[in-house]
Structure 1
Amino acid sequence: MRDDTRNLPASGDGLTRFLGGSPLAVLFRLVLMSVLVGVVLAAVGLDPWNILVSIRILFERLWDLGFDTIAGLWRYFLLGAVIVIPIWLLSRVFSSPRGR
């Protein structure tokens, strides 16, 4: 049987156990994740200095985008239906009857 306890923090080291790893490694991971999440939030348009206004503007943009998307989706549906519905109808009319 292998001894897999060598990778686990020492049971007496409460800080390492609380953080889930060595403090330096945890700090590095937190900094890296904070930068990545910050890049994503900046791409969405959030501003860390005025977060509440940024969130309100984000929801307004998503609201407007949602209704624009529905209008665009309707046009795509009509464009596709001009091709799909006649082909489906012709395939149903000319298909051989299956045994019943």
Structure 2
Amino acid sequence: MQNETSQIPGDTPRDYPRGLPRREDGLSRFLGGSPLSVAFRLILLSILVGVVLAAIGFDPWNIVASIRRLFNWIYELGFDAINGLWRYFLLGAVIVIPIWLISRLFGAPRGR
């Protein structure tokens, strides 16, 4: 039987570290990784969020006016949608209501 501390030929020693120990200082622990990789991820995320905000009309030089313009656009869009639905309803009702009324007036009574 083999002893627990004995080694098989070609095996690395049990007390030898597999890689260099990773030095985790306070800054890396605070940032959640190495400062360079965190900076790279933050730059990419900032560009992505900037593209999305630019698509909805934000301007980085006048953010308050951009937010006000966004809410105004949403407000007007809501009422334009209601106005559009109302127009479609009226257009369809001109055809649907008379046909329904004629079918009810001239339809045969149905027994239950």
Q: Could you state the TM-score of these two structures normalised by the residue count of structure 2?
A: 0.55
Higher helix content, 1 or 2: 1
Provide closer, same or farther for how the CA distance between residues 67 and 12 of structure 1 changes in structure 2, counting only shifts above 3 A. same
Q: Could you tell me which residue of structure 2 aligns to residue 13 of structure 1?
A: 25
* 1:65 and 2:77 aligned: yes
Identity %: 68
Give the aligned residue type for 2:45.
Answer: M
Indicate conservation of the 8 Å contact 1:11/1:17, yes or no: no
Q: Could you tell me which residue of structure 1 aligns to residue 47 of structure 2?
A: 35
Question: Following TM superposition, where does structure 1 have runs of at least 4 consecutive aligned residues deviating by more than 2 angstroms?
Answer: 70-79
Q: Where does structure 1 lack aligned partners over 5 or more consecutive residues? A: 1-9, 87-100
Indicate conservation of the 8 Å contact 1:16/1:22, yes or no: yes
Q: Where does structure 2 lack aligned partners over 5 or more consecutive residues? A: 1-21, 101-112
Q: Could you state the TM-score of these two structures normalised by the residue count of structure 1?
A: 0.61
Aligned positions, number: 74
Provide closer, same or farther for how the CA distance between residues 68 and 53 of structure 1 changes in structure 2, counting only shifts above 3 A. same
Deviates more, 1:12-21 or 1:66-75: 66-75
* CA deviation after TM superposition for structure 1 residue 74, in Å: 4.6
RMSD: 2.7
